[in-house]
Structure 1
Amino acid sequence: MNTRTVSLHILFLFLLLHLIDSLRTLDQNNTMKDGDVLISQARKFALGFFSPGNSSLRYVGIWYYEQLERTVVWVANRENPVNHTSGVLAFDHYGNLVIRDNIGNLPIWSTNISSLTSNNSATAQLLDSGNLVLIHDLSKEIIWQSFDYPTDTFLPSMKLGSDRRTGLNWFLTSWKSEDDPAPGSYSCRFEPTGYPQWFLYKGRAPYWRGGPIIENPHGVDRAMPHDFNFTVTVVRNATEVSTSYSTSTISRYVVQESGSCRLSMDP
């Protein structure tokens, strides 16, 4: 093989890797295979196939992009894994985002937007908040988002509570184990009646109560960085009852499989 051929092969490999790495949106003309990655604009989050812990099963998840240790914050097919690396993520002819087993062409998971028809088209985009959204190509409205279907992690700008218009309930559910992201025994829910507060449930039984939620910035904690800011918002109106939070640093609440709730912050 001569020098010119080797150089062309290297250039082709570079262009291929750059194409995969620079994938910002997914539309009707694209298919994500196992190994491809969808990255948010500021390279904060990534979406792709992964195997949790010591498992060889494959799931589609979202994780922090430029961290050495992969921290998964959302899982699509948490109860229906792909048994091998032949899975694909693509749109079907109705405009739904679907995970398929490419060997048997079997559907594993779908956004399942029932109002879509064959004339609809949408584009998938991963936001820098960690929210995967489907945007209608004509109206430019968000018609589906992963924040409406939390797993075990509560991120800034995500909501816990309920949407009175759609009937959606936003709550966290622990993984079964480090190797299995299927729903576990513990769930964290926002209870709006009386004083709004968080409850941790084991099965259907209350396991822990967080106390009343206080809106606006928390008091200064000497253990926190001097520039740390943590703001809680509670919404109670005709369309929704919810709580959300914002911070000045990378943070997340996680309901762990052991039943504990943990706030993690990264510099």
Structure 2
Amino acid sequence: FFFAHSSSCSVMVWPVLVCIALLLKPLVRGFSGEIVFGQSSPFSGVSGDVGPRLQAGVLAGFKEANDAGGCHGKKLVLHSVDDGYIPTNMPDKAAELLAIPDMFAFIGFYGSATTAALLPTLIQHQIPDIAPLTGSSSFRRQFNPYTIHLRAGYDDESLTMLNFLISEKVVGRIALLYQNDTFGAPAKEGIVSALEELGMKLVCLQSYSVVDDDVASHNFTRTAEKFLAHSPQAVILYAVGTWVTATIAEMKRLAEDQGITYITGSWMGLTLSSRLKASRIDPKGVYVMQTF
């Protein structure tokens, strides 16, 4: 099981701030006493443990910059709001942040569906969205000058997952659970396509919707039973929060000692270790990708 500590989030802040300072130097100098950034992330809901960690990483980077004199003498300030990882909340949350005087840029946003819902606001107000925590290919295949990516896309991440499973773990029977939206659907298509090129296909495919499916009442036993009926050697989870941990927990309970490999992506790197520990789930055979 591989895990990157959440404090590493602060590492990503410095290169961005340096680029902003160099490219937008006249604009930065035009601000009064502070350079204001806005963050909308989940501080509640199915991914409610992600927002505070992203916030902590950004604030750590800002503190380092401010202790060194700020950016051209200006103090970096962060305002955070809770969107609950609900895409329909994004217009109101963006408006709330934009109402703050001297809002310079967005930073520390989380999720593909939420980022997609934010795009019209970015374009309308011409405000940068720095380092959103999403690798969705839909944001990379069509250029958007207001979104500044600092991480690899899910296409690259998916291929690395498959290479790990097929070449290193030597498994051939792979199943997939994915979130059916702009986050998981493109990843599913990429995984299916990559397997087809190798003459392989998924043994089982299941999906869910964060809009229509209630995680609190979802029957994870049924999900686990459906997967296990196809005897997978590995399960890829393009899912978030409880959808990941509850699926793994129930499959481990029912499968006992079948040696199934579970792998999820970098978006779970901030919280998966603590979630497994809190749920008393044996981490053996559970892997999480990391992108640098």
TM-score (norm 2): 0.26
Q: Per chain length, whose mean CA-contact separation is higher, i.e. which structure has more relative contact order (CA < 8 Å, sep 6+)?
A: 2
When you count helix as a share of all residues, which structure comes out higher? 2
